[in-house]
């Protein structure tokens, strides 16, 4: 059962890093407004700490993903790695007071269902190499 906990905690850490990355990206953009295609915008962007939070989130997610992939079956791993869509949605409602509107809820349900299908498709193709230890 040790393995189950390893996956569960690993996936939670992955979703956490992905969410921190996405939220830091948003804050980075908000603090550098207005968006311009010039160096002034880049200086505003890199002059605030948020963008470094985004980089840390991405690097953390990358190494967590690589660690998980060493052992975890690819299907569930793939699905879990994209389910930050849900956590980021919920966090943005809370942090940025974004309204939760019907098209977003319906769209999110279809996207999550699609991600689950893709995860199942991956699992089926990689069955033989699963769980040898």
Partner 1 sequence: MPTGTISPLVALLWVLNVVLDTGGQLAFKAAAGDPAAGDGLARWLYMARRPWIWLGIASYVIEFLIWIAFLSLLPLSEAILLGSINIVAIMVAGRFLFGEKLTRMRVAGILLVTLGVAIVGVGG
- Smaller CB separation from partner 1, 9 or 98: 98
Of the candidate residues 8, 43, 59, 121, the single one contacting partner 1 (CB under 8 A): 121
Of the candidate residues 8, 43, 106, 127, the single one contacting partner 1 (CB under 8 A): 106
42 binds partner 1 (CB under 8 A): yes
By CB under 8 A, the residues from 73 to 102 that bind partner 1 are: 82, 84-85, 88-89, 92-93, 96, 98-102
Task: Print the binding letters for residues 11-30 with partner 1: x by CB under 8 A, - otherwise.
Answer: -----------xx-xx-xxx
Which SS3 state, helix, strand or coil, does residue 47 take?
Answer: coil
Say how far apart CA 13 and CA 84 lie, in whole Å.
11
40 binds partner 1 (CB under 8 A): no
**Burial 87-101, CB ≥16 within 10 A → b, else e:** bbbebbeeeeeeeee
Of the candidate residues 1, 35, 66, 133, the single one contacting partner 1 (CB under 8 A): 35
3-state SS string over 72-132? CCHHHHHHHHHCHHHHHHHHHHHHCCCCCCHHHHHHHHHHHHHHHHHHHHHHHHCHHHCCC
CB within 8 Å of 50: residues ≥ 6 apart: 24, 25, 27, 28, 31
Please give the residue ranges that form the binding site for partner 1 (CB under 8 A). 22-23, 25-26, 28-30, 32-33, 35, 42, 45, 51, 54, 82, 84-85, 88-89, 92-93, 96, 98-104, 106-121, 124-125
């Amino acid at each position: 059962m040790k393995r189950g906990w390893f996956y569960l905690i690993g996936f939670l850490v992955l979703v956490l890093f992905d969410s921190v990355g996405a939220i830091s990206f948003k804050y980075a953009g908000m603090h550098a407004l207005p968006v311009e295609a010039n160096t002034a915008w880049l200086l505003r962007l890199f002059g605030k700490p948020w963008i470094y939070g985004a980089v840390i989130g991405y690097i953390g997610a990358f190494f967590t993903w690589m660690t998980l992939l060493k052992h975890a079956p690819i299907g569930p791993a793939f699905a879990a790695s994209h389910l930050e869509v849900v956590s980021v949605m919920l966090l943005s409602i809370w942090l940025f007071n974004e309204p939760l509107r019907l098209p977003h809820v319906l769209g999110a349900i279809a996207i999550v269902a699609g991600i689950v299908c893709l995860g199942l498709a991956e699992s089926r193709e990689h069955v033989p190499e699963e769980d040898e230890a």
